[in-house]
């Protein structure tokens, strides 16, 4: 199968513009359209829906896209093994990450990375709401949870210690919980999709952090807002230590129930679709993040 046509299809699926994708690869618009049509004829299905106004990915095109990426990666790896691979890292890298973490730790690293790889386009999706890696056709994603999907592979970036905390003004007004059961009488701040979290004491006593059973709740979907609401005395929240360690150090937040911790402490994982080959662009970005962030004490 012609990998240049596969590259054209991948670019067109990302830009939803066949002519623009063709120009990126040095093809005239008519040539690009012809090559996509030939690829569709070879596969016996329409990959891209075309109209006079727009281009969209068909369901078959969506299913085929990860395989097209894989075949391109296999070709690059084969040439690299023979010493014929191109040294220039180029193309588009689609990366999804929690917005809060990205703002604090990843955004400051981007200028140096992009100076090092000027021919690589970074397409970032930043949201504290978790995305589907395969469904969204992302090359790489950052997750702060336990990896359960067997179709994905992961590299650990860092630990992600979680603690319960509140502002001194909240503690002064509403009191300091002495046991996990006391949390049910308090105002809790949590992500709206947060399931009950198992707690365990240093002595092994089990408990739970369950915002849905609390006396009053503030539900949200943004880590920065959760931290600010906690600082403002709205309630008690469960936060990553990398987000609140400065506030804990300067006393603007205090740890609640310090003898208890989350039973299954998650880590920060860089995840990508399971494959025999990791593309060069994904590998250099993962290596860069691990080198820069993994060595930092963020938890």
For residue 54, name the pLDDT band (cuts at 50, 70, 90): confident
Decide if 183 is inside a domain: yes
In this prediction, residue 134 carries a pLDDT of 59
DSSP 43: H
Do 171 and 156 share a structural domain? no
Q: Is the pLDDT of residue 81 over 60?
A: no
Q: How many domains does the chain have?
A: 3
**CA 237, chain centre distance (Å):** 22
Residues counted in the chain:
299
Asked, for residue 173, whether it belongs to a domain, the answer is yes
22-46 tens-digit pLDDT: 998 889 999 999 999 999 999 999 9
Which residues span the domain enclosing 127?
91-160+267-293
CATH at 67:
1.10.10.10
Give me the mean pLDDT over the 100-109 stretch.
94
Q: Please state the rounded mean pLDDT for residues 276-287.
A: 81
Structure pTM?
0.67
Question: Would you say residue 86 lies in a domain?
Answer: no
Same domain, 166 and 215: yes
Domain limit, last residue, from 28, 48, 81:
81
If asked whether residues 150 and 235 sit together in one domain, one would say no
171: domain CATH number? 3.40.190.290
In a shared domain, residues 7 and 143: no
Residue 96 lies in a domain: yes
Per-residue pLDDT at 89: 81
Q: Of the segments 49-63, 73-87, 241-255, which one has the largest average pLDDT value?
A: 241-255
Neighbouring-strand partners of residue 217: 188
pLDDT at 84: 57
For residues 109 and 99, give the distance between their C-alpha atoms in angstroms, rounded to a whole number. Answer: 15
169 and 246 fall within a common domain: yes
DSSP state, residue 118:
T
Residue range 234-245: average pLDDT?
Answer: 94
Residue 298 belongs to some domain of the structure: no
Domain final residue pick, 81, 103, 132: 81
Looking at the fold, whether 103 and 237 belong to one and the same domain comes out as: no
Residues 48 and 123 in one domain: no
Residue 31 is predicted with a pLDDT of 93
Residue at token pair 């025999």: 276
Last residue of a domain, one of 35, 50, 81: 81
- Give the burial string for 74-104 (b: 16+ CB within 10 Å, else e): ebbbeeeeeeeeeeebebebbbbbbbbbbee
122-181 pLDDT, tens per residue?
A: 999 998 877 776 567 788 999 876 556 555 688 889 888 899 999 999 999 999 999 999
How far CA 141 is from CA of 110, 134, 137, 165, 184, in Å, comes to 16, 10, 10, 28, 35
At residue 281 the predicted structure's pLDDT band, cuts being 50, 70 and 90, is: confident
For residue 141, list its beta bridge partners.
96, 271
State residue 213's pLDDT score: 87
**Do 171 and 252 have their domain in common?**
yes
Same domain, 8 and 45: yes
| Same-domain status, 58 and 116 | no
Q: Is the pLDDT of residue 68 over 80?
A: yes
Do residues 58 and 114 both lie within one domain? no
Does some domain include residue 57? Answer: yes
Task: Answer yes or no: is 299 within a domain.
Answer: no
**pLDDT given at position 146:** 57
Summarize pLDDT for 188-225 with one digit per residue, the tens: 999 887 788 899 998 999 999 998 888 788 999 889 99
- The pLDDT score that the predictor gives to residue 150 is 56
| CA-based nearest residue to 133, from 297, 287, 282 | 282
Position 149 scores a pLDDT of: 56
Q: What is the DSSP secondary-structure string of 247-293?
A: HHHHTSSEEESTTEEESS--EEEEEEE--S---HHHHHHHHHHHHHH
Instruction: With respect to residue 73, please indicate whether it lies within any of the assigned structural domains.
Output: yes
pLDDT at position 277, please? 62
Same domain, 76 and 55: yes
């Amino acid at each position: 199968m012609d990998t240049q046509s596969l590259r054209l299809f991948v670019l067109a699926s990302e830009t939803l513009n066949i002519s623009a994708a063709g120009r990126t690869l040095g093809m005239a618009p008519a040539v690009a359209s012809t090559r996509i049509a030939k690829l569709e004829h070879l596969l016996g299905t329409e990959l891209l829906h075309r109209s006079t106004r727009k281009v969209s990915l068909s369901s078959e095109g969506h299913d085929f896209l990860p395989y097209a990426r894989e075949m391109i990666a296999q070709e690059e790896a084969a040439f690299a093994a023979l010493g014929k691979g191109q040294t220039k890292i180029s193309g588009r890298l689609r990366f999804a990450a929690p917005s809060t973490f990205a703002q604090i730790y990843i955004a400051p690293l981007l200028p140096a990375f992009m100076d090092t790889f000027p021919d690589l386009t970074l397409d970032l999706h930043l949201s504290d709401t978790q995305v589907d890696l395969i469904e969204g056709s992302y090359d790489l994603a950052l997750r702060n949870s336990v990896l359960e999907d067997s179709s994905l592979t992961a590299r650990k970036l860092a630990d992600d210690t979680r603690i319960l905390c509140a502002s001194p003004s909240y503690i002064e007004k509403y009191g300091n919980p002495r046991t996990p059961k006391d949390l049910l009488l308090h105002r809790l701040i949590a992500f709206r999709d947060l399931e009950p979290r198992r707690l365990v004491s240093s002595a092994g006593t089990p408990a739970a952090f369950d915002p849905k059973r609390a006396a009053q709740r503030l539900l949200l979907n943004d880590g920065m807002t959760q931290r600010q609401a906690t600082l403002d005395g709205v309630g008690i929240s469960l936060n990553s230590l990398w987000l609140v360690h400065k506030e804990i150090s300067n006393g603007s937040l205090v740890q609640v129930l310090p003898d208890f911790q989350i039973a299954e402490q998650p880590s920060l994982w860089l995840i990508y679709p399971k494959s025999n080959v990791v593309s060069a662009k994904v590998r250099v970005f993962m290596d860069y993040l691990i080198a820069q962030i993994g060595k930092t004490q963020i938890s």
